[in-house]
Amino acid sequence: MSDFAEQFEDLRIWQEARVQAGDVYRDFGSDSPGARDFGFRDQIQRAAVSVMNNIAEGFERHSPKEFAHLPGVAKGSCGEICSMLYLAEDLGYINPDLANERRQRSLGLSRGIEALNKKLRAN
C-alpha cells in the first residue's frame, strides 16, 4: 500500500470521510430537530462511520484485492448518506442548503474512492 500512503490516515479520502462523519454526528446529534427519530439518526451515523472505517480496514488488510473491496463498501455507504440526506430534508431535520452541501461533499468523497479503486485495479 506504500504506493498510495504509509498509513490510512494519510489517505485524502479517509480524511474527508472523517470530516463527513463529524458533520453527520453534529447535524443529527441529540439537540437536532430529528434527535428523537432514533432509527434515522442511528442509520445515518452508522453509514458515516462505515465510510471511514471501511477505508481504514481495507488499507490495513495489506491486500490489494481487499483494499479495493472495502473502499467499495465505503462508496456504497456514501450513497446511503446522500439518500438519507434527502429524507432528512423532506422531514425538516436539516435545511435544504445544508443538505445539498452535505450531499455534494459525500458525492465528492464517493468520486475520490472510485478514483482510488481505479488506481488499485490498474496495479
54 found inside a domain: yes
Output 122 or 103, whichever has higher pLDDT.
Answer: 103
Residue 52 lies in a domain: yes
Residue 41 falls inside a structural domain: yes
Query: Does residue 24 fall inside a structural domain?
Result: yes
Sign of CA dihedral 77, 80, 82, 85: negative
50's grid cell: 462505515
Number of domains in the chain: 1
Taking residues 113-121, what's their average pLDDT?
Answer: 85
Distance CA 59, CA 22 (A): 21
51: CATH: 1.20.1440.60
- The model's pTM is 0.91
Q: Report yes or no on 3 lying in a domain.
A: no
Cα Rg for the chain, rounded, in angstroms?
Answer: 15
- Please give the distance of CA 42 from its chain centroid, rounded to a whole number: 14
In angstroms, the CA 107 to CA 118 distance is 17
**What would the mean pLDDT of 34-47 be, rounded to a whole number?**
95
- At residue 63, the pLDDT reads 74
Over residues 104-114, the mean pLDDT reads 96
